[in-house]
Structure 1
Amino acid sequence: MQQLTAIITGASEGLGKSLAIELARRNINLMLVALPGSGLPQLASYLRKNFAVRVDELEMDLTDTDGYPEIFVHLHLHGGAANILINNAGLGNWSWFEDKDPLFYKKQIELNVITPVLLTRLFLEQANAAVTSYVLNVGSLGGLFVVPKKQVYGATKSFIRYFTKCLQLELSGSNVRISLLSPGGINTKPELLVMNNKLKGIARATILEAEDVARIAIDGMLKGKKEIIPGAVNRVLVLLNSILPAFVKESIIKSRLKLILKS
Structure 2
Amino acid sequence: MNRLTAIVTGASEGLGKSLALELASREIDLVLVSLPESGLPELANFIRKNFEVKVTIFEADLTLAENCTSLFTLLKSEELTAHILVNNAGLGNWSWFEDMNLGFYKKQIELNVIAPVLLTHLFLAQLDEERTAYLLNVGSLAGRFVVPKKQVYGATKSFISYFTRCLQLEMERANISISLLSPGGINTKPELLVLNHTLKGIAKSTITEPDRVAYEAIHGMFLGKREIIPGGVNKLMVVLNSILPGFVKDMIIKSKLKPVVKM
Q: Which residue of 2 aligns with 1:181?
A: 181
Q: Which residue of 1 aligns with 2:110?
A: 110
Q: Deviations over 1:113-144 (max 9, x none)?
A: 00000100000000111111011000000000
Shift of 1:244: 0.8
List aligned pairs for 1:1-263, cutoff 5 A.
1-261=1-261
C-alpha separation between the residues in 2 aligned to 1:241 and 1:48? 43
C-alpha separation between the residues in 2 aligned to 1:207 and 1:13? 17
Q: Which amino acid aligns with 1:80?
A: L
Q: Deviations over 1:179-229 (max 9, x none)?
A: 000000000011100100111111110001000000000000111100000
Secondary structure at the counterpart of residue 166 of structure 1: helix
Q: Which amino acid aligns with 1:21?
A: L
Identity, % of aligned pairs?
A: 66
C-alpha separation between the residues in 2 aligned to 1:170 and 1:260? 43
C-alpha separation between the residues in 2 aligned to 1:260 and 1:43? 39
* Runs of 4 or more consecutive aligned structure 1 residues displaced over 6 Å after TM superposition: none
C-alpha separation between the residues in 2 aligned to 1:259 and 1:241? 23
CA contact (8 A) 1:72 1:81 kept: no
Secondary structure at the counterpart of residue 219 of structure 1: helix
Shift of 1:260: 2.9
Q: Which runs of 5+ in 2 are unaligned?
A: none
Q: Which runs of 5+ in 1 are unaligned?
A: none
Q: TM-score, normalised by structure 2?
A: 0.97
Q: Deviations over 1:40-72 (max 9, x none)?
A: 011001001111210000100101111212222
Q: Deviations over 1:90-135 (max 9, x none)?
A: 0000000010000000000000000000100000000111111011
Comparing 148-157 with 242-251, greater Cα deviation is found at 242-251
Q: Which amino acid aligns with 2:134?
A: Y
Q: Which amino acid aligns with 1:51?
A: F
C-alpha separation between the residues in 2 aligned to 1:234 and 1:67? 35
Shift of 1:255: 1.4
CA contact (8 A) 1:85 1:123 kept: yes
Shift of 1:35: 0.2
Shift of 1:77: 2.7
Secondary structure at the counterpart of residue 260 of structure 1: coil
C-alpha separation between the residues in 1 aligned to 2:78 and 2:59? 16
Secondary structure at the counterpart of residue 259 of structure 2: helix
Q: Kindly tell me the number of residue pairs found equivalent between the two proteins.
A: 262
Secondary structure at the counterpart of residue 57 of structure 2: strand
Q: Which amino acid aligns with 2:26?
A: R
Q: Which amino acid aligns with 2:236?
A: V
